[in-house]
């Protein structure tokens, strides 16, 4: 069995931007269910998505600052020299793979699985998983801690204030169907 804290995941922008997915991933990382990693490229993409969604600049700064403060060791550096040597279906995703290689990650968590072919990633000792599959796997590693992290997420939600079942419904609406159903079965 994998010791979860040593299990390292690079989070792609498309799993950091949706608040519901990000919150659950961040709470799981906070509870040491896995080690979270990202790059400056990923953060720049996240900021760009928030700008396109008309999120106020102050809120963008707040969200990214919170992530940096919550996980000060998450930022992967010195990966840029690897980017040009990598080959992915979408060249714009090479920075994600480069960061994963540089930090010796186990998995890239992305909802763009077609852009991260597992055969190619396996040559670097990596795999790609959707947020739903990854979170369900993490829940499977430690049911008690996963439920504790989920309940902490629910308690810290204030805008709007939702109960566990409403949060689970929001997770399902954001594509985390297996994960929400798994958590539901445990609470």
Q: Token pair 């040593």 is at which residue?
A: 6
Q: What is the three-class DSSP state of 107?
A: strand
Which of the four pLDDT bands, split at 50, 70 and 90, describes residue 5? Answer: low
CB-CB contact of 16 with 37 (8 Å) = no
Distances from the Cα of 140 to the Cα of 40, 110, 116, 159, 185, angstroms: 30, 19, 24, 29, 12
How far apart are alpha carbons 10 and 135 in whole angstroms?
13
Which of the four pLDDT bands, split at 50, 70 and 90, describes residue 7? Answer: confident
What is the structure's pLDDT at 2? 45
How far apart are alpha carbons 11 and 46 in whole angstroms?
11
Instruction: Return the DSSP state at 31.
Output: T
Partners of 127 in the beta sheet? 107
Task: Kindly state the helix (H) or strand (E) to which residue 83 belongs, with its residue range.
Answer: helix 80-83
Each residue's pLDDT tens digit, 107-149: 999 999 999 999 999 999 999 999 999 999 999 989 999 999 9
Which of the four pLDDT bands, split at 50, 70 and 90, describes residue 167? Answer: confident
Each residue's pLDDT tens digit, 71-105: 999 999 999 999 999 999 999 999 999 999 999 99
pTM score of the predicted model: 0.91
What is the structure's pLDDT at 18? 84
Q: Which CATH class is domain 4-186?
A: alpha beta
Residue 172 pLDDT greater than 80, yes or no: yes
Residue 180 pLDDT greater than 60, yes or no: yes
What tokens appear for 1 in the block? 């069995």
CB-CB contact of 75 with 39 (8 Å) = yes
Each residue's pLDDT tens digit, 15-43: 999 888 999 999 999 999 999 999 999 99
- Which are the contacts of 101, defined by CB distance < 8 A and separation ≥ 6? 79, 82, 124, 126
How far apart are alpha carbons 72 and 85 in whole angstroms?
28
How far apart are alpha carbons 113 and 130 in whole angstroms?
7
């Amino acid at each position: 069995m994998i010791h979860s804290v040593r299990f390292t995941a690079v989070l792609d922008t498309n799993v950091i931007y949706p608040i519901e997915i990000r919150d659950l991933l961040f709470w799981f990382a906070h509870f040491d269910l896995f080690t979270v990693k990202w790059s400056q490229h990923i953060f720049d993409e996240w900021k760009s998505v928030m700008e396109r969604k008309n999120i106020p600049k102050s809120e963008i700064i707040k969200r990214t600052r919170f992530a940096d403060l919550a996980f000060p060791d998450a930022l992967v550096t010195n990966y840029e020299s690897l980017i040009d040597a990598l080959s992915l279906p979408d060249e714009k995703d090479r920075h994600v793979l480069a960061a994963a290689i540089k930090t010796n990650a186990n998995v890239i968590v992305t909802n763009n699985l077609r852009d991260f072919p597992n055969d190619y990633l396996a040559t670097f000792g990596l795999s790609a998983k959707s947020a739903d599959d990854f979170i369900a796997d993490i829940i499977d590693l430690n049911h008690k801690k996963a439920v504790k992290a989920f309940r902490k997420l629910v308690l810290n939600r204030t805008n709007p204030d939702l109960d566990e079942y409403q949060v689970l419904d929001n997770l399902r609406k954001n594509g985390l169907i297996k994960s929400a159903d798994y958590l539901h079965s445990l609470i």
